[in-house]
Chains A and B, each alone.
Chain A
Amino acid sequence: MNYMVPPGLYAIGNPAGNDPVLVTANYKMSYDLVRRSLAGRNVWLLVLETYGINVWCAAGKGTFGTGELVRRIAASGLTQVVSHRRVILPILGAPGVSASEVARRSGFSVSYATIRAEDLPEYLDGGMATRAAMRELTFTFYERLVLIPVELVLALRQIAGIGLAALLVVAVVGNPAAGISALCAWTGAALTGLVLGPLLLPWLPGRSFAFKGAEAGLLWSGAFYLLAGKDVWSGWIIAAVFLALPAISAFYTLNFTGCTPFTSRSGVKKEMRLALPVIGVALLTGIVLLLAGRFLP
């Protein structure tokens, strides 16, 4: 499927030379959201070439950036179309655009309007003033929920591959039933880190994502124990399960940092330096405990 809109200057309604110029990315969803929120108005919409990537990610990469904006202003002949010299940008485009550079190179001044397209009508009607709430990010339950399907699809092959490997190894070393059990334990732990961790994010205590993931993983370990191990597992297996499964969930919730709008690079670096070794040791210890339980009396 094609999620790109051809870059260039678009007219919404019947704009004249003094009507505002708004700028967005050529990701179809961004374009449609902006266009819908501006329906019934006369405005110009300048679409930048971001190769189908949304404004924020493109700004991070620099494709929604100073160079592309200056180029697109020139290529679209904007100076002949409008009499004013002002372009209105989404706030989340700012990591890629230097307003003073754009002014120097194109003669257009940059106004950063709002974070969300849905606030644009209020911004335009309110004399181009940004209310505090218009520059405040949110990360609601629903906003987290819609990210998860993509994360699932991206991780599916890895989870299935490792799950099958666990099934085979445990079935050979132990027995087929234990193999199935290992597959379930692994898949549940991975999905817990991938789905439950992100959904429960604000309610899991602590600030570290790995820690939050481990907490969600403990919930899964408890549930799996009640479902499968209550009367059958030895102490070795119980210890292994409660050590290894939270470690797996921790890893997957740590990976969710890239999907959130509030984690810093320095923070993630620090967290990885601490969490990855702990996750590795917990996993290995879990495996050693399982083996010990299998071969020791």
Chain B
Amino acid sequence: MKGFRYLENVATLKLDQAACIGCGRCFEVCPHQVFTLAGKKASVSDRDACMECGACALNCPVKAIFVDAGVGCASGMISEWLQERKLRAPGGSCCS
């Protein structure tokens, strides 16, 4: 994404290139251009741009992609954490 970069070396994205059939779905659905297609195989060319939305893993027809998907939202995680420790009543995790 032009003009914005988040923390480096944290994204959990993994691609099993041996399993990849080169369909290009990951390339199509990624909103951050993390994948490139070369020679009938996808490859991860910009892992640090990954925001872990999970679209690629969910849409990969051969399950060659793993990512610990979730929303990168501090207030959501704080209320999750408080709920787990029963310090707050369960309810909306983040934005409504």
Partner-B contacts on A (CB < 8 A):
53, 57, 59-60, 91-92, 94-100, 112, 115, 130, 132, 135-139, 201-202, 207-209, 254-255, 257-272
Q: Which residues of B contact A260 (CB under 8 A)?
A: 4, 72
- Given that A53-B96, A137-B32, A258-B94 are contacting pairs, would A269 and B77 also be in contact in the complex, using a CB cutoff of 8 Å? yes
> B94 contacts which chain A residues (CB < 8 A)?
258
- Please tell me if the beta carbons of B28 and A112 are within 8 angstroms of each other in the complex: yes
Contact call A207/B7, Cβ cutoff below 8 A: yes
Whether A265 contacts B7 by the Cβ 8 Å rule is no
Hey, which chain A residues are within 8 Å of B10, CB to CB? 264, 266-267, 270
Known: A136-B1, A258-B94, A268-B77. A263 touches B59 (CB 8 A): no
Establish whether residues B29 and A263, one from each chain, have CB atoms under 8 Å apart when the complex forms.
no
B11 touching A267, Cβ below 8 Å: yes
* Cβ contacts A to B, 25 pairs, < 8 Å: A60-B53, A91-B31, A94-B29, A94-B55, A94-B58, A94-B59, A95-B58, A97-B58, A112-B29, A135-B31, A137-B1, A138-B1, A139-B4, A207-B8, A208-B7, A257-B73, A258-B94, A260-B72, A263-B51, A264-B10, A265-B70, A266-B10, A266-B72, A270-B10, A272-B74
**Complex interface: chain B residues within 8 A of A100 (CB):** 59, 61
Cβ A99 vs Cβ B59 within 8 A: yes
Of residues 1 to 60 in B, which have CB atoms within 8 Å of A's CB atoms?
Answer: 1-8, 10-12, 25, 28-33, 49-55, 58-59
